[in-house]
Amino acid sequence: MSSPYITTIGLEVHAELHTNSKMWCGCKNDPTEKKPNQNICEVCMAHPGTLPVANHEAIKKVITVGCAVGGIIADFTEFDRKNYFYPDIPKGYQISQYKLPIVVGGMVNGKALTRIHLEEDTAKSSHDNDGYTLVDYNRAGVPLMELVTEPVIHSAEEAVAFARELQRILRYVEASDANMELGQMRIEANISVSKDKEKFGTKCEVKNINSFASVFGAINYEVKRHIAVYEKGEKVIQETRGWDEAKQETFSQRKKENAHDYRYFPDPDLPKLYLHKLFNIDEIKKSLPELPSVRRERYAKYNLQLNYVDILIDDVHMSNYYDSVLSSVGENNAVLVANYLLSDTLGLLAKDGSLKLPSSDNFAKLINMNIRGELSSRGTKDILAIIMKDDQDPKEYAKKHNLIQTNDTEALKKIIEEVLSESPTQVADYKSGKEAMFMYFVGQCMKKSKGSGNPALFQELLKIALQ
Ligand code: ADP
Ligand code: MG
Ligand code: ZN
């Protein structure tokens, strides 16, 4: 039975930008730093008298994401102070953007975006220390992008598909590593249900969701909860909720604060930004990489196994590697390259953690030798395992170890002649109908060529010679 309730969802996604330095100071932006309070200075610790300087690399990354999603890059933008007091926010306010975001509009996975703006991340608090709270400021002031969607998502499935596609885009344009487990991408889901198509229900916002599975779980939980409230004839209260991973439940955190509680105002320490004067937006648009949706369509034309397409599209490094091999091997060999890369190479990697992907040049050389018939598939796999150890030139290795197959028809014919003249009884047997002898001749030829003859070519030539 279909539900009379319509679900409406709007997402707010935060992503830590991948930049060299923090948003307002020269401190290293290093999310891998384990030791607390290493990458801090007077500016990100908000010592009196210090002034922020906006990181243009971060602004450019937000513009790049905006171009990738087809949003409008604002002519004019500014930074605002969002005032609130908490130990993870040393200034007593967060620098964010309120009325004038860098990007307006755009679309991801068919879902309309409201805006993308730039702000700073907070420090990290840890609460379980014998009653004390410890604060690590390495993350304070790291550039943080916030993307907001229109309320146009209608199920948990759609929300997860949206978030996955956004994650791919952020990775393809190298704006963010967007790893949810590491908190580099965090999602807030606004959820409401209503029986009335024309009128939204009251929304609740579930904060800081750290995995796709939790996005899915939290939305479905909220939808069920709202419906149960309405079915009892009660009202949903607008509030901020958290997600309890262990219980798989949302829980009330606080009643929703309003924008005026933050007393937003333009930050007087930072200049206004005329983006089209500061950045060459057309140049940024032109230098966009191929986006995941376009790449997916191109791979679909190659007739790859469906799971190979998914593996490649979800791993931009693997996919770029694959493409660079294809560029020297040719798109007509797309299936062959995918098989060697995603079956053989990944298989070897899974078995032996000390192996590495060879350079794409060496990998392409290996595949080219296979295509030209210089290596059998056995030989190709053996040399693959070698070059995954030390990334050496596969051609040099094959030459040095006499592994190159001979495709020289005349040379192979000579070997065949010798083998056949040395085996008169076997030839007679074959001619009287003992077809199994054929593989005996192939074996003898391979032996005489010391393994260097191309077995497929031997077979072809033997058939002619035995007629
Ligand atoms: P707030 O001022 O409470 O933060 P916004 O209007 O800025 O609310 O919207 C925040 C997010 O909530 C956006 O993603 C928006 O699409 C979504 N949203 C707004 N109203 C609803 C609703 N009734 N149901 C679901 N999502 C909503
Ligand atoms: Mg919000
Ligand atoms: Zn600093």
The pLDDT tens digits along the chain (467 residues) read: 578 999 999 999 999 999 999 999 999 999 889 999 999 999 999 999 999 999 999 999 999 999 999 999 999 999 999 999 999 999 999 999 999 999 999 999 999 999 999 999 999 999 877 888 999 999 999 999 999 999 999 999 999 999 999 999 999 999 999 999 999 999 999 999 999 988 999 999 999 899 999 999 999 999 999 999 999 999 999 999 999 999 999 999 987 667 678 999 999 999 999 999 999 999 999 999 999 999 999 999 999 998 999 999 999 999 999 999 999 999 999 999 999 999 999 999 999 999 999 999 999 999 999 998 888 888 899 999 999 999 999 999 998 887 887 777 888 899 999 999 999 999 999 999 998 899 999 999 888 887 778 888 889 999 999 88
Residues facing 189 on adjacent strands? 11, 206
pLDDT recorded at residue 256: 65
Q: Terminus-to-terminus CA distance in the chain, angstroms? A: 71
> Quick check: helix, strand or coil at residue 250?
strand
pLDDT recorded at residue 1: 54
- Which residue CA neighbors atom 9 of ligand 1 most closely? 10
pLDDT recorded at residue 107: 98
Contacts of 273-280 with CB under 8 Å at 24 or more apart are: 273/54, 273/59, 273/76, 273/77, 273/78, 274/75, 274/76, 275/59, 275/63, 275/73, 275/74, 275/75, 275/76, 275/77, 275/102, 276/73, 276/75, 278/56, 278/59, 279/59, 279/60, 279/63
For residue 149, which atom of ligand 1 is closest to its CA?
A: 14
Is residue 138 within 8 A of residue 28, CB to CB? The reply is: no
Backbone angles phi, psi at 249, to 5 degrees: -140, 155
- How far does CA 416 lie from the centroid of its chain? 53
- Which residue CA neighbors atom 13 of ligand 1 most closely? 10
CA angle at 411 for the pair 406 and 415, rounded to the nearest 5°: 105
- Residue 381 tokens read as 């796999």
The number of the ligand nearest the C-alpha atom of 11 reads: 1
CB distance 200 to ligand 1 below 6 Å: yes
pTM attached to this predicted model:
0.89
Q: How far is the CA of 12 from the centre of ligand 2 (A)?
A: 7
Residues making up the chain, counted from first to last: 467
C-alpha to C-alpha distance for 289 and 295, rounded to whole angstroms: 10
For residue 191, which atom of ligand 1 is closest to its CA?
A: 25
pLDDT recorded at residue 17: 98
Nearest to 228 by CA among 238, 220, 240, 216: 220
- Residue 88 tokens read as 């993870």
Ion ligand 3: residues, CB < 5 A: 25, 27, 41, 43-44
Helix (H) or strand (E) holding 416: helix 409-422
CB distance 190 to ligand 1 below 6 Å: yes
Q: How far is the CA of 63 from the centre of ligand 3 (A)?
A: 23
Can you count the helices (H) and strands (E) in the chain? Answer: 17, 17
- Residue 317 tokens read as 């490094």
Residue 320: partners with Cβ closer than 8 Å, 6 or more residues away: none
- Which residue CA neighbors atom 11 of ligand 1 most closely? 10
Q: How far is the CA of 123 from the centre of ligand 1 (A)?
A: 26
Domains of the chain: 6-283 (no CATH), 292-400 (no CATH), 409-465 (1.10.10.410)
Judging by DSSP bridges, how do beta strands 72-73 and 103-104 pair with one another? antiparallel
- Which residue CA neighbors atom 19 of ligand 1 most closely? 151
Substitution candidate for ligand 1 out of 13, 149, 190 with most atoms within 8 A of CB: 190
pLDDT recorded at residue 313: 97
